[in-house]
Each structure stands twice: as C-alpha cells, then as structure tokens.
Amino acid sequence: MVISKKTEPHNALKTLLAVQELRQKEHFLGLILDQIHQSLNLDEILETTVESVRLFLESDRVVIYRFLEDGRGIIEKESVTAGCSPMLGKIIDDPCFLNANIIERYKQGCINLIDNVDTSDVNKCHAELLRKFQVKASMVLPILINQETEKQGTDKTTWGLIIAHQCTHNRQWPVLDTNLLERLATQTAIAIQKAELFHSVEQRNQKLEKIAYIDSLTEVSNRRYFQEKLDQEWKRLKRDDGSMSVIMLDVDYFKHYNDTYGHQQGDKCLQQVAQAISAGVKRPGDFVARYGGEEFVVILPNTPIEGALKVAENIRREIEALEIPHTTSAVSNWVTSSLGVASSNCSAESNPEMLLQAADMALYNAKKAGRNRVQTSKSADVVAVNLQVKSAATLSTAQVFEYAKSSRNLVAKLSCSQWLNPDKFLGSTNWKRASMNIGMLQIKIVNINQNTLHNLTQYLANKYSKFVIENLNVSGMFRCTI
C-alpha cells in the first residue's frame, strides 16, 4: 500500500490534536478528582461530580442515581441544561434492572452505552422509561463500593450509577471519554466511601456527646452541661457588659407523687414537665437543664428581671396545663411547680454562682409562700462580709457577733444587733474547728427590716444545720426582699 506524501502531514496533525485533546481531558479530570477528594461532605462530592461530568461531556443532563434497598433508585443529584426536563428527587422503578439482571452486570463493572434509543438493542421497558425523560442517547457507569463481609472478606456492591443523557440528539460516546469517566467513577466511589465513614464517625461522636451532656430521662441538658453553658454565657455577657437571669424550678410535692404513683410514673411526669419548660422558653439563646431530681434551671441571657418573670409564669402555666393528676399535693389536684427568679449584671463584682444562689433563695421563698407560684428578689448591691475568727476549739454565738461588730468590712448601719436570733441564724452555740462558706448578703439598702431578716435567718437555719467558725467566710449571695 502506497501512502501519498500529502496524507502523512494530515495524519500527523490528527495524531497531534488527539494527543493534545487527551492531555487536556487528563488535566481536567485531575482537577475534578482533586476537588472531589478535598471534601468529606457527601452532598458536595456528588454535586461536584454531576457538574464536572456534564461540563466534561458537554451533555444535556448528568445525574447520580442511588440504589434503594427495595431495588428501586432515587435521583440523588442532577446537573441539567435548560429545556431538558429535570429528574432530581424522582424515585425510578425500572423493572428491567431486576428482570435482565442488569444490577449484577453493573456490579461486574459493565458500562452501558446507548447511541440511539430508537435503534439500539434496548429492552422495551427501559426504552420507554428513557423516552419519558426525553433521552435520545445515554452513558451509564456504575459506582462500586468495597464492603467487608464476614464470609467473603471484601466484596463490591453497586452503590449507584453516574448517568449522562443527551436529550436533543443522538450521540456516539468516544472510547476516550468512557475510559476517563470510568476512572472518575472509581475515584468518586472512594470519595463516597470516605464521606460515609466520616459521617458515621461524626454520628457516633454526637451520640457520645449526647450521652455526656443530655439528661437521659428528660432529654434536656444535664447539670454538667448546664454548668459549662452558664460559665460560657457569663464570660460572653461580661465582655459585652450584658446581664443574665436564671430561673430555678422545683416540682411541688414530688416525693409524695412518687410515693403515690410509683417511680415509673414519676419519670414520665418529669419528662412531661421538661417538655413544658422547653415549650415555655421561646428564644434560641435560652437554655433549659435538669439540675437534679425534680429540679430544673433555665438560663436567660440579656433578659431583665421583668422579662424573666414573664417567662417563669409562662412555664408555671404550661406545667399546670398538663393536668397531671396529683391527689396528694397540698396545693392542687394537678402537678404544679414553684419557681425562683434572679437577675444580675455580668460584672466583676458578681459571679454565676452568686446568681444561682439568689435564684435558689427565691425558690425557697416561693415554697414558703405556698408553692405553685413565682418568686423573685429585688436587685441590690453586693455587700461582702468576711469574718476571720481564730479559735482553738469552740466559740459562742455572742463572741462571733461581737467580732462581727468590730469588723471593718461591715457596711455602716448594718450591725449585729439587728439579727433577731443569733442562735437560729448560726444553728448552734458550740463550734467545731473547721471552715465554711455561708453566703454573701446582698441588700439594696443598709437597714434591713425585721421581717425580712427573720426570713433570711430561717432560710439559713434550714439550709445549714451547723456553721463552723474557725475560718468563717461569708461569700455566697442571698437576695433579701425589702
């Protein structure tokens, strides 16, 4: 065979152009694979795949078809040109997959090319499905995932398909394109497997976090997470010169409820109460937690005392509206709650523990006032009283108060003679050698009336049966209602 000199340059040019096209497509494929492997987000991986393949092939539509457990499939992702009907989200039920054992062929790595739906050797049912979506030519590549099995070790499963459609005209699919896209399908499968593994690890971590921070019974935050959240919010609000309100809640006569209806019903009651509290708290930044037993707590960032009172009353009504029968309650035929509310500026002069103690004091007052109500303390300036008493063994209450009178840390006009009953306040006339925090008195005016003082002494006597004096540091906080 004689080849003319004119055809030699022509063939050489065609070869050069083919090599250049191959290099360009190889480079483009490399860019696609880099982008796919940079992500561990399955949605991003699939989105990149369909957009890139459609651009690579200059086709009308590219979809990711994911197999479902029942043999059907869903169009998981799609990139489509204008004028070509979309398929995204559609459930595809192609009987040919099962009847012709096509899924098994895809599992073996088979690539399905259709140049012309009307003339190609295509099953009738499949051809009708393609025409329904305006398809005139198609290319289908399997996405095969390696899975570990107990009997056979590693086995391939068909996760889904990459499908390219030509909707406007028939088309031949070059071998070069199919070879390159076969590599893309393999790498996409690896990226999908990595993303699913990452997602699985994330889910396990979230479950572990839920175990660590969520109360298993009520499914609101537990006390541990509450303490973390309280400290975080306090620091944030302190930087912003903000304020915080806290609500402490206790289910009324819950011990009687448990004794009457049993602990299983008691658990159910607490679950319903937790839901009611969450329903009564509206803002995304507000925070509900189980503080312990039948006690709950709510953090309300940047909420003044007036707003916190409204929230607390709303919660009280939500709980009462549950109409959970409570025949042994002394205040109602239904389960009710008592709530204490306190508010504070987040400043260097205060701290979150002081705020909690103030809310606890208000809760105590709500119970004492008859339960099934909201009680608060008026905001006030903090007065710190530090008593450093050195004692070898015991010390009488009279001696303690004599020392307190001479303490330079006491505010003017606030003298020990105002205490109605020193023994009731301190709990005992004899003191063991030790140290203890009692509380930081928070008052709005320096003169406390006797009724208010009597309430405070009663509270302290009930909360602390004995106080030890060798190093008595008054460092808590009690809001006294004036």
What lies within 8 Å, CB to CB, of 111 at 6+ separation is 139, 140, 141, 142, 178, 182
At 374, the pLDDT band (50, 70, 90 cuts) reads very high
Separation of alpha carbons 161 and 50, rounded Å? 11
The more confidently predicted of residues 481 and 208 is: 208
**The token pair that represents 224 in the structure block:** 């541990």
Closest CA to 237 of 165, 317, 147, 344: 344
Task: Label each residue of the chain as H, E or C.
Answer: CCCCCCHHHHHHHHHHHHHHHHHHHHHHHHHHHHHHHCCCCHHHHHHHHHHHHHHHHCCCEEEEEEECCCCCEEEEEEEECCCCCCCCCCEECCHHHHHCCHHHHHHCCCCEEECCCCCCCCCHHHHHHHHHCCCCEEEEEEEEEEEEECCCEEEEEEEEEEEEEECCCCCCCCHHHHHHHHHHHHHHHHHHHHHHHHHHHHHHHHHHHHHHHECCCCCCECHHHHHHHHHHHHHHHHHCCCEEEEEEEEECCHHHHHHHHCHHHHHHHHHHHHHHHHHHCCCCCCEEEEEECCEEEEEEECCCHHHHHHHHHHHHHHHHHCCCECCCCCCCCECCEEEEEEEEECCCCCCHHHHHHHHHHHHHHHHHCCCCCEEECCCCEECCEECCCCCCCCCCHHHHHHHHHHCCCCCCCCCHHHCCCHHHHHCCCCCCCCEEECCCEEECCCCCCHHHHHHHHHHHHHHCCCCCCCEEEECCCEECCC
What pLDDT, in 10s, does the model give residues 149-181? 555 556 788 899 999 999 989 999 988 888 888
The more confidently predicted of residues 249 and 285 is: 249
At 470, the pLDDT band (50, 70, 90 cuts) reads very low
Highest mean pLDDT among 36-40, 190-194, 290-294: 290-294
At 18, the pLDDT band (50, 70, 90 cuts) reads low
**pLDDT mean across residues, the chain:** 76
Query: Do 472 and 401 touch, CB atoms closer than 8 A?
Result: no
pLDDT of residue 124: 79
Residue with tokens 């505010």: 411
Q: Is pLDDT above 90 for 60?
A: yes
What pLDDT, in 10s, does the model give residues 377-428? 644 322 223 333 333 233 344 444 444 444 333 322 222 223 323 333 343 3
Closest CA to 141 of 108, 92, 190, 93: 108
- Global model pTM greater than 0.75: no
Highest mean pLDDT among 21-25, 105-109, 335-339, 389-393: 335-339
What pLDDT, in 10s, does the model give residues 173-193? 988 888 888 888 888 888 998
Go through 98-131 and write b for each residue having 16 or more CB atoms within 10 A of its CB, e for each that does not. eeeebbeebeeeebbbbeebeeeebeeebbebbe
pLDDT of residue 444: 29
The more confidently predicted of residues 129 and 444 is: 129
The more confidently predicted of residues 26 and 275 is: 275
* Range of lowest pLDDT (218-227, 281-290, 420-429): 420-429
Long-range Cβ pairs for the range 127-130 (8 Å, 24+): 129/92, 129/94, 129/96
**139 phi and psi angles, rounded to 5 deg:** -130, 130
Separation of alpha carbons 363 and 200, rounded Å? 44
Separation of alpha carbons 181 and 143, rounded Å? 11
Cα R_g (the chain), whole angstroms? 37
What lies within 8 Å, CB to CB, of 301 at 6+ separation is 233, 236, 237, 242, 244, 285, 286
**The token pair that represents 76 in the structure block:** 């998981």
**The token pair that represents 274 in the structure block:** 């937790």
At 222, the pLDDT band (50, 70, 90 cuts) reads very high
pLDDT of residue 33: 83
Long-range Cβ pairs for the range 51-55 (8 Å, 24+): 51/79, 52/184, 53/79, 53/162, 53/164, 53/181, 53/184, 54/79, 54/80, 54/81, 54/164
What pLDDT, in 10s, does the model give residues 342-353? 998 888 767 888
